[in-house]
Amino acid sequence: MATSSPCVVISDEEQGYDLDLFCIPKHYASDLERVYIPHGLILDRTERLAREIMREMGGHHIVALCVLKGGYKFFADLLDYIKALNRNSDRSIPMTVDFIRLKSYCNDQSTGEIKVIGGDDLSTLTGKDIIDTGKTMKTLLQLLKQYNPKMVKVASLLVKRTPRSVGYRPDFVGFEVPDKFVVGYALDYNEYFRDLNHICVISETGKEKYKA
């Protein structure tokens, strides 16, 4: 079985950064504990993932499938970097884009029920924001098999270390993080915090304030 590419591992002891060191929307100031992964670091790591994907997928037509809603920022930035590589290197990848929505969370807990919405032409590369237990992605991969793709590769910005994991590991991973509920960079808590550039740890105040 192929192993996933190396990633940045954030230790359980990592505390992140003080909110006052970054530009945080005032309406979220009391709802967050710390900045966990700054926006600049996310972009730099995403650019590197684009290079790895180009190296491995070069020569294949890609259907880039975005898992909404949480994956849209990572997906858009990843594709921008791939397009830049297409323009500025001797090797390029023909690519089309599709979208699918998976919903499995209420508040900070997985409901165990996965709803799949959309997706017309599903084939090769999927981009997701975060792999938690892995159950959602395994469900999606089973769905993709119905379309008989030549190959399926999964890129995820985050993978959580959690005892609830089913053991699934994406092919391309940005960061491996502790089992904390994080928001920002399109990751939400009941639809809030998607407009936050950095990935942050939500506070108990924030959880209570935006509870469904």
CA dist 49 and 9 (Å) reads 15
Catalytic residue, from 20, 132, 188, 195: name it.
132
Say whether 171 is catalytic.
no
For every residue of 111-151, DSSP letters joined together read EEEEEEE--SS--SEEEEEEESSSHHHHHHHHHHHTT--S-
Tell me, rounded to whole angstroms, the distance of Cα 67 from its chain centroid.
8
CA dist 102 and 160 (Å) reads 18
Strand, helix or coil for residue 95: strand
Backbone φ and ψ of 44, nearest 5°: -65, -45
Strand partners for 178: none
Q: How far is CA 140 from CA 49, 65, 122, 205, in A?
A: 21, 11, 10, 33
CA dist 98 and 117 (Å) reads 12
- Residue of 150, 86, 159, 106 whose CA lies nearest to 129: 159
Annotated catalytic sites, by residue?
132
